[in-house]
Amino acid sequence: MTQKAISFTAEKTGIMKLLHTSDWHLGQRFINRERTEEHERAFNWLLQVLREQAVDVLVIAGDVFDTGTPPNYALRQYYGFLTQVRETGCQHVLVVGGNHDSPATLNAPQELLKTLDIQVLGCAPRSPDGELDYAAEVLPVCDASGALLAVLAAVPFLRDRDLKYAQAGETAAEREAAIKQGIAQHYAQLAGIVQEKYEHCVPFIATGHLFAAGTTLSDSEKIIHVGNLGQISAAQFPDIFDYVALGHLHQAQNVGACAHIRYSGSLLPLSFKESQQPKQVLLVEFAGAQLTRIEPLPVPAFRTLLHLSGTLDALCEQLATLEVETCLNTWIEVELEHPYPEAQAQLQAALQEKSAELLKVVLKRTESQLNFNELSEHLEELTPQELFLRRCTVAQKTPEEQQALSSCFAELLETMT
């Protein structure tokens, strides 16, 4: 793939602006704490950005919700935000499903949302005969006068059943190759439809929710296809697309050296380790079909997530002198170098009268060495896939056996969403 040239000298007339965001994970419980306030503040900030930047198209590239069965408050936040987008002047919204999302939940109000110029594809659409309907993923968007603004190739998370059917006796390598080929062919099909139907005088924009090669995973992300089987390279996105808006990886980044193929990253940090990553959305501008600017817009930190490590005395001193800088309570994870009697009580005492909360205390030791009477891992912090893999490890399965079993387990999970 040839890297798109980006010019920063385009005239302001005829500019089309797109805002790229993903991985909201509405309804996420952070060690049994709701994140409603953080998401509400993030949405207010997003609405302000849409208004001040005069954005034409908002793209949400998957994982709107944290689970396939989001709580009612998360659904209210989602629909409340969408109804307010129209008031900002943004003309179009595209929502594609991610691996965390339930296609049925996202698609349920699909026809109603179309009346608000909000297009939703929870999963790859199919024709009445059950075949993939590629044309239904190609969405032209127009301005108020009816003039074409852009053409969107709206690709949601592609499940295994959208890409291939398992073959009896195939090896893990053969299955991996088939999935990669299926993803590449999906984008090639869409590129052919776009090229055939539209003149390239407006931007051609694709979405995706997948794991691309040459990128970095965060600790809170699921491997979408077991063993990174969904990993494809930048070269497998057709050159016809002027910008590719991706979701799934929580760290904002390019795919390889391609500046026009981007992950916006998650809206909020989804783990203590992710708190070290700056969060952002991407403002993308076009003059005609020419990509002229990509500007990261930093998302404000509404709550500090703090990971501290050391001895008990050192940690107590750090907590006692802690200064809280964000508007919401600071949440803290502490990693102790050695077990101490009543460590949690001493750490809590050091936080008295501070706008901070100690959520988790762990030992800096291997899992086999942990004293589970003193400190334990919360089951709710593990995904079903992670829990299954740990059970495989306990059962002393080889890496090859784990990969095969995990593949079957992943497909079982998919049939349940």
- pLDDT for the residue 402: 66
Lowest mean pLDDT among 63-72, 171-180, 188-197, 272-281: 171-180
Distance from C-alpha of 162 to C-alpha of 417, rounded to nearest angstrom: 14
- pLDDT for the residue 78: 97
Question: If pLDDT is split at 50, 70 and 90, which confidence band does 410 have?
Answer: low
Residue 156 belongs to a domain: yes
Neighbours of 214 (CB within 10 A): 14
Distance from C-alpha of 244 to C-alpha of 25, rounded to nearest angstrom: 21
φ, ψ of residue 139 to 5 degrees: the values are -125, 110
Distances (CA, A) of 350 to 315, 329, 345: 9, 15, 9
Same structural domain, 91 and 26: yes
Same structural domain, 111 and 40: yes
Radius of gyration of the chain (CA): 23
Q: Which residues contact 246 (CB under 8 A, 6 or more apart)?
A: 22, 61, 207, 208, 209, 210, 212, 255, 261, 262, 263, 264
The boundaries of the domain holding residue 309 are: 304-378
Judged against a pLDDT cut of 50, whether residue 374 lies above it is answered with no
Quick: pLDDT tens for 110-161: 999 999 999 999 999 999 998 999 999 999 999 888 899 999 999 999 988 8
Residue 2 belongs to a domain: no
Mean pLDDT of 261-285: 93
Of 298, 318, 348, the residue at which a domain comes to its end is: 298
Judged against a pLDDT cut of 80, whether residue 368 lies above it is answered with no
Of 298, 332, 367, the residue at which a domain comes to its end is: 298
130 alpha carbon, distance to own chain's centre: 28
Judged against a pLDDT cut of 80, whether residue 13 lies above it is answered with no
- pLDDT for the residue 364: 77
Higher-confidence residue of 59 and 343: namely 59
Helix ranges (H only) for 211-322 are: 312-320
Quick: pLDDT tens for 80-124: 999 999 899 999 999 999 999 999 999 999 999 999 999 999 999
- pLDDT for the residue 396: 62
Give the rounded percent of residues in the chain with a pLDDT score beyond 90.
Answer: 54
Quick: pLDDT tens for 376-406: 445 555 567 767 777 777 666 666 566 667 6
Lowest mean pLDDT among 135-139, 222-226, 302-306, 358-362: 222-226
Judged against a pLDDT cut of 90, whether residue 409 lies above it is answered with no
Question: If pLDDT is split at 50, 70 and 90, which confidence band does 375 have?
Answer: very low
CA nearest to 250, candidates 227, 226, 274, 230? 274
Tokens 């949405």 belong to residue: 43
Question: If pLDDT is split at 50, 70 and 90, which confidence band does 163 have?
Answer: confident
Structural domain tally of the chain? 3
Same structural domain, 204 and 248: yes
Average pLDDT, rounded, for the chain: 85
Residue 54 belongs to a domain: yes
Same structural domain, 312 and 410: no
Distance from C-alpha of 346 to C-alpha of 80, rounded to nearest angstrom: 42
Same structural domain, 197 and 115: yes
- pLDDT for the residue 199: 93
Same structural domain, 122 and 253: yes
Same structural domain, 245 and 257: yes
- pLDDT for the residue 220: 57
Same structural domain, 107 and 172: yes
Question: If pLDDT is split at 50, 70 and 90, which confidence band does 59 have?
Answer: very high
Q: CA torsion 209→210→211→214, rounded to 10°? A: -70
For residue 113, give the CATH number of its domain: 3.60.21.10
Higher-confidence residue of 346 and 384: namely 346
Same structural domain, 222 and 355: no
Same structural domain, 141 and 201: yes
